[in-house]
Amino acid sequence: MSTATPEMTRKEIPDCYPSRQLTEPHTQDRVDPVVYGHAQGGHGLSEAQLLAFDRDGYLFFPELFPRDEIRSYAGELQRLAAKGGTGPETILEPSSGDVRSIFQVHRNHAVFRDLSRDRRLTRIAFGLLDSDVYIHQSRVNLKPGFVGKEFYWHSDFETWHVEDGMPRMRAVSCSINLTDNHATNGPVMVIPGSHRQFVACVGQTPENHYQKSLRRQEYGVPDQAILSRLAAERGIEAPVGPAGSVLFFDCNLLHGSNSNITPFPRSNIFFVYNSTLNRLTDPFGNIPPRPEFVATRDGVDPILRNG
């Protein structure tokens, strides 16, 4: 597998997953492994768990964190949201102006930095990626009762590849429930097995697209016919559970969530663990890279397997 190092440039790395270059959407088979580790790697993941991740593209760990510990993280999130703020890391809902997400929390807030390096999380990332890792992106998401808006279907990797320059599929996302997630309050939904197909999208990416896409995505959106086919073949699942539960999913897994029209809030902390062998190069969409608070490029702080 070809990997990126800090010294490599975009021209030295082949584009194995071209997207937003043609007028018609299409799919292609994944050329990268899904699981890089093995059950004897000392990370605590069983062979059955690794096989399930390889097949479905996700693993769900109910109540990985005790409720009293999660309560402290939820309180920190509410404190940050109450402050509001006009900095670029704070993303507001397009209609209401309420806080939607706060980015780069692993760098700007000590409590979340410590959480991103917690061995309960990193051992899983190590087991799946079989390398040292770093945080490519972090954020907290708020979806309050009655007014929390949707996140449309997407593959994170498609955006990270085109707009950030992530060369290959050697990254995993981690979503930690700060509130109880029910089937009704806008939980993350996934299409199991969709991570084995790369869905190439259409449309030339505008410069500074992130300023709108973090609020409502317009480019890098999968074709509805392709989504319908994959959902008919593989179904749609919503891994739900109480606060403290954790969802790990492959960077290319198609996922999204509905608006929350219930009275019950749904919020989470989101960390992306990228292999240090898969560091960003220039974006494959031939556009300026997104800012550091969205995609870690210069401030890489490795989390070592044997550290």
- pLDDT (tens digit per residue) in 104-142: 999 999 999 999 999 999 999 999 999 999 999 999 998
| Angle CA 64–68–69, to nearest 5 | 60
Which among 188, 104, 98, 97 has a CA at the least distance from the CA of 151? 188
Give 185: exposed, middle or buried? Use CB within 10 Å, 0-12, 13-18, 19+: buried
Instruction: State the pLDDT at residue 86.
Output: 65
What CATH number should be reported for the domain whose range is 56-275? 2.60.120.620
Contacts of 110 (CB under 8 A, 6+ apart): none
Q: How many angstroms separate the CA atoms of 21 and 80, rounded?
A: 39
pTM: predicted TM-score of the whole model, two decimal places: 0.92
pLDDT exceeds cutoff 80 at 276: yes
Q: Report d(CA 157, CA 253) in Å as an integer.
A: 8
Q: What is the pLDDT of residue 218?
A: 62
DSSP line for 51-73: HHHHHHSEEEETTSS-HHHHHHH
151 pairs with which residues across the strands?
Answer: 257
CA distance 73 to 75: 5
Tell me if 265 sits within 8 A of 179, measured CB to CB: yes
Q: Please state the domain extents for the chain.
A: 56-275
Tens of pLDDT, residues 211-230: 444 444 566 789 999 999 99
More confident residue, 89 or 133: 133
Angle made by CA atoms 249, 255, 256, in degrees to the nearest 5: 130
